[in-house]
Amino acid sequence: MIEPTGRRAVTRTRALAVTSGKGGVGKSTVAVNLAAALVARGERVVLLDADLSLANLDVLLELTPGMNLQDVLEGRCGLHDAVRHGPAGLRVVPATQGNPRMSALSEREHAGLIQAFSDLGPELDWLVIDTAAGMTPSTLQFCAAAQDVLIVVCDEPASLADACAMVRVLKDTGRRSRFRVLVNMVAAGEDPRLTFQRMVDLTDAIAEVSLEYAGSVPYDRTVATAAREGQPAVVAHPDAPVATAVTKLARDTGRWPLSFTASGQSEFFWENKIHNEVMERRART
């Protein structure tokens, strides 16, 4: 269970959705390692498995069986009771696997789930959300509810086309217009900024969309080794190229501007953000 630390009078809790247009691009690996790298920097982090019906983070991290999001939604436990402790201080809220009911939540149920995380807001710096791949209703809902969206792509046409389609849907439905893009599994000699530029070119026809280059992560066999060990690569192999890249990404997140702009959708930690803005304005007067 997460306990309040009393560390800050004014919190800046933010939710980051790590997503992708298609599977197979290393999205979950990025989410797990980014969350672990943020913990290593002293941040208070919870990793949410938001692939509600095909969850796998508990398997990847060899978590002890216990309560999960389905138990929370069905009233068998509170959100605090579903938090599991993973490697190196990483805390995880797992989902369930193979339950079609979880893949068909109503908008009201999604909103209730998002609202439930407000109880954790004062105790957290980051909620890292590992969404399902593709444009499932739950993925779109979680992306709309997060303060930041990190789209993971790799240098292949289907990855870029599907990521572009996700951007279009989220923009056209009024859910969001600003995205960060991480180029993953970069091969030796490959220029990740060219991959990013190809995605920019694909989204040029979408009005008022902003894509920001978040960096790149190299292809590294260490990722598979760490997965077999049930550990994030940044923990098990901190000197590996993938660990170096993700550690830099974690450091860069501290420079991402914090937005207080309302999206018109259910949003993680919205009440905390309003409170922080009011308190900071008072502190300046």
Per-residue pLDDT of 135-149, as tens digits, reads 988 999 999 999 999
Answer yes or no: is 7 within a domain.
no
Three-class secondary structure of residue 257 per DSSP: coil
Q: Above pLDDT 70, what percent of the chain?
A: 88
Beta bridge partners of 150: 18, 180
Write down the pLDDT at residue 99: 77
Average pLDDT, the chain: 88
Torsion of CA 225, 89, 54, 230, to 10 degrees: 20
pLDDT at 111: 86
Give the pLDDT band of residue 285 (cuts 50, 70, 90): low
| pLDDT tens, position by position, 14-24 | 999 999 999 99
Domain that holds residue 75: 14-284
CB atoms within 10 A of CB 110: 21
The candidate with the shortest Cα–Cα distance to 226, out of 54, 16, 83, 37, is: 37
Q: What CATH number is given to the structural domain containing 144?
A: 3.40.50.300
Instruction: Decide if 225 is inside a domain.
Output: yes
Greater confidence (126 vs 65) lies with 126
How does residue 272 score in pLDDT terms, banded at 50, 70 and 90?
A: low
Per-residue pLDDT, averaged over 121-137, amounts to 91
Name the helix (H) or strand (E) containing 29.
Answer: helix 27-40
Q: Is residue 208 part of a domain?
A: yes
148-153 vs 178-186, strand pairing mode: parallel
Confidence at 281, pLDDT banded by 50, 70, 90? low
| Per-residue pLDDT at 240 exceeds 70 | yes
Quote the number of domains for the chain: 1
In the structure, how many helices (H) and strands (E) does the chain have? Answer: 12, 8
Does any domain span residue 126?
A: yes
> What pLDDT is recorded for position 121?
77
Can you tell me the distance from the alpha carbon of 144 to that of 171, in angstroms, rounded to the nearest whole number? 10
Out of 92-96, 209-213, 261-265, pick the least confident: 261-265
Q: 99 in a domain, yes or no?
A: yes
One DSSP character per residue, 200-213 reads HHHTTTSTT-EEEE
Q: Are 43 and 126 in contact (CB under 8 A)?
A: yes
Q: Is residue 184 in a domain?
A: yes
